[in-house]
Structure 1
């Protein structure tokens, strides 16, 4: 979903009907469907899944993230490059709260734009996968997709 300022919500594993209902509950706005406005975003996501895109060129509406702490965490996270990982603790340090690894995990769980804001790149400091709002299986597949090395 997109506002006039930029992208505000990406959903995984949800029907269009449920997604629209979710948006109406979250934002007190009239929801209209405009596939043409979302086409460039969908194209970039398709390129990502085909391993043809490592970086998104998408404007994000940061105002959709109400909590200032969550916004700060997610704004730092967008700078973690494709194929790299960071620990929850490492991300907590980047936002100036080195003891807030659990709070960082909670902020990631509320990430309204998974993949675009790459919370799948955040892992436990011991190298374990950690959690993911769309499920561990999807997180593992995204990490695998990003670790693929082309021979060409």
Structure 2
């Protein structure tokens, strides 16, 4: 009686499979301690700001892209992006608000300016607090 033979396939080596690295989330980018300290204390003044209130997703994306274009061309370092405050957590009813704020992280990560963005941080209350974020741009080299 013949027994079926088990065919062993060689384990795929990491070098055999070409893996594309997932894009690094911009939120994970770090700044040096002095930048983070100055941002958290509200000591940094934005070079440029953009308010996305009252816009639809496409309009907000277009305005954000144009603003980043201008900021990069002008050599700005800090862009203040005002998105509006998220709805309270304890709220029970569904909200149509917050779609732009939810999309901003993905927009920035996939942006044609993504390589120029050093970090994204929450804004100081003086600049909008929970309703705004700072986009820190890298210096041109």
For the criterion TM > 0.5, the same-fold answer is no
Identify, as 1 or 2, the structure richer in strand: 2
Report the structure number with the largest CA radius of gyration. 2
TM-score by length of 2: 0.29
Identify, as 1 or 2, the structure richer in helix: 1
TM-score by length of 1: 0.27
